[in-house]
């Protein structure tokens, strides 16, 4: 929210082992993830909502599996984008604290009305 992209990036443990799945595309790695996050979050002009719903954290020694549903309302100039995804973040406990080693994002199915 404060546009500190370096801080956002610091939550990741980028290495050749880092992986990400998003938008039904093939797996990508650290370079692609960092570029995407810097490009997207660097372009946000306003955040009107940034909710992480149904958060569940399961810790197994030095690994934590975090699952949640996003309800993000992001403004990009004149365009508002609503991101309703199911997200998994896999964290590894390192000497620098907990760091993300894998991300998985997929659209959350909309409820039938």
Asked if pLDDT for residue 113 goes beyond 70, the answer is no
Q: pLDDT tens, 63-98?
A: 999 999 999 999 999 999 999 999 999 999 999 999
Per-residue pLDDT reduced to its tens digit, 21-55 = 998 899 999 999 999 999 999 999 999 999 999 99
User: Using CA atoms, how far apart are residues 45 and 66, in angstroms rounded to an integer?
Assistant: 27
| Cα dihedral 26, 31, 33, 39 sign | negative
- The pLDDT value recorded for residue 109 is 85
Boundaries of every domain in the chain: 5-107
Whether 89 contacts 20, CB under 8 Å: no
The per-residue pLDDT for 54 is 96
Does domain 5-107 fall into CATH 3.10.450.50? yes
* pLDDT tens digits, 1-23: 677 899 999 999 999 999 999 98
CA neighbours within 13 Å on the CB side: how many for 93? 7
């Amino acid at each position: 929210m404060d546009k500190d992209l370096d801080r956002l990036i610091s939550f990741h443990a980028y290495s050749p082992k880092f992986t990400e799945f998003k938008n039904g595309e093939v797996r990508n790695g650290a370079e692609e993830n960092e570029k995407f996050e810097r490009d997207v979050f660097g372009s946000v002009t306003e955040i009107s909502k940034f909710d992480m719903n149904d958060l569940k954290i399961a810790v197994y020694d030095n690994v934590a599996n975090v699952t949640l549903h996003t309800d993000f309302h992001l403004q990009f100039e004149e365009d508002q984008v609503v991101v309703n995804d199911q997200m998994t973040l896999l964290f590894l406990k390192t000497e620098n604290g907990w760091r993300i080693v894998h991300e998985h994002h997929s659209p959350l199915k909309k409820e039938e009305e």
